[in-house]
Amino acid sequence: MKDEKKELNEDRSIHDKMIVLDGCCPLLTWGIDPMSGRVDKATLGKGPALYIEGGVTAAGASVGGTRTPVELTRTSLKLHNQMIEDNGWIKVKSTADILRAKREKTFGIWYLFQGAFAAEDNLDLLEEFKENGVGQVAPTYNYRNRFASGQLDRSDAGLSMAGVDLIKKCNELGIIVDGVHNSDKDVLDMIEFSSSPVIISHSNAKAVYNHPRNVPDDVIKAIGQKGGVVGAVGWPTFVSDSQFPTFDQFFAHIEHIIEVAGIDHASIGMDYFYMIQGLMTDDEAQKLYDQIIASGAWTAKEYGHPPYAYPTGLKTPATFYNITNGLLSRGYSVEDTQKVMGGNLMRVMKEVWGA
C-alpha cells in the first residue's frame, strides 16, 4: 500500500493550472430551501467557497430531482441564479463559460437534475429548464418513476417508452444524459437510444466494493464505448464497508474505472453533501438523515447512518487538489491526470452543449 502521507502533500503547482470539475455537488445548494423560498445567509455560499479553496473550476449543483415537483424546481433555480449573480460567479451553459471561469479566476456552476420528476407530466418543460441552465439530467433517483426503473428498485425493466422519449428530448435540447441512480438496464437502454455520450456522474465500481449504488464492469465499459465518463464518488458508504474510508480505498475505484473504460472515460463526481462531519454537527446530521429516510428517498441499508466522513484527505472540497496529487503520485502523466480531473467531462460537455 502506498504511503498516504506522501500522497497528501500541499503541492498545488500542477493542480492549480488545470481545469478541475466535479460532476455532482449537492453541497452547492446548502442554505437554499425551495420548499419555503428561504435562504439561510449563515450557510449560503459556503459550499462554493470550499470548492474555490480546493482549486475547482466548476461543479454541478443538484437543483432538482429526488421527487421535486415543477414549482419547487422553479423556485430552486431562481434562488440559485440569485446566489450566482450576488457572488459574481458564472452560470455554466457551455464549455466557454468554464474556460472563462478559469481565466477570470472565479467559480462556475452548472445545474443538474438527479431525477427528471419535474418533467414527468410534460417533457416540454425541459426546454424551460435548459434555458435556465440545466445541462445534465438523470431519468430517476433510486426508485421507479414514469421514465425508468431506478438503481435500488426491486425489479429492473429498464427505460419505459416515456423514458426513451426523455432521452431523445435531452439529445434534442443538448442536455447530458446521466445514468446515475438508475438501474443497470436503464443505463444500457440510455446508451442504446441516446445519440450523444451518456455519463454516470457519481458512482463507484461494484468490482471494487459490491454496493447497490455502484456499477458493474459491463456498464462501465459500455459508458466508455459510447464516449461517456464514469465519475468516482466519495460518499463514504459507496467507497468501502468502513464508515471512515481511506484515500487508497477511494482511489481503487478511480483506477478500476480507468482499467475497464480507459483513461479517456474516468472523471470525478464527489457528491459532497452538507451532512458530512465538519460542516454539520452530528445532531443536525441525524435530524436531516431522519427526514430523508422518512421521505423514502434513502434506506438505511444502502446509505448507512451519520456520522458521515469522506475519505482521508478529501474531507471537504477544500482538499480537492489531493485527487490530482494522488494521480500524479501513482505515475499518471500530467496529461492523463488533467483528463480525469476535468478534461474528459469537458469533452462530453463540448459535444453535447457546444463550445
Residue range 142-176, pLDDT digits in tens: 999 999 999 999 999 999 999 999 999 999 999 99
CA 281, 284, 288, 290 dihedral sign is positive
Burial 38-61 (b: 16+ CB within 10 A, else e): ebeeeebbbbbebbbebbbbbbbb
pLDDT above 80 (res 1): no
CA-closest candidate to residue 235, choices 132, 162, 306: 306
The answer to whether the beta carbons of residues 238 and 287 sit under 8 Å apart is: no
Task: Give the pLDDT of residue 9.
Answer: 65
pLDDT above 70 (res 279): yes
* Mean of all residue pLDDT scores within the chain: 94
Domain ranges of the chain: 4-353
Range scoring the smallest mean pLDDT among 1-15, 215-229, 251-265, 292-306: 1-15
Is the domain spanning 4-353 CATH 3.30.420.40? The answer is no
- The stretch 214-227 carries a mean pLDDT of 98
pLDDT above 70 (res 233): yes
Contacts of residues 330-337 at CB distance under 8 Å and 24 or more positions apart, as own/partner, are: 330/2, 330/251, 330/255, 332/263, 334/14, 336/263, 337/14, 337/18
Residues 6+ apart with CB under 8 A from 207: 216, 217, 256, 260
More confident residue, 297 or 149: 149
pLDDT above 80 (res 187): yes
Name the pLDDT band for 8 (thresholds 50, 70, 90): low
Name the pLDDT band for 4 (thresholds 50, 70, 90): low
- The stretch 67-90 carries a mean pLDDT of 93
Task: Give the pLDDT of residue 309.
Answer: 95
pLDDT exceeding 70 applies to what percent of the chain? 97
CA distance 112 to 51: 17
Phi/psi for 266 (5° steps) reads -110, 145
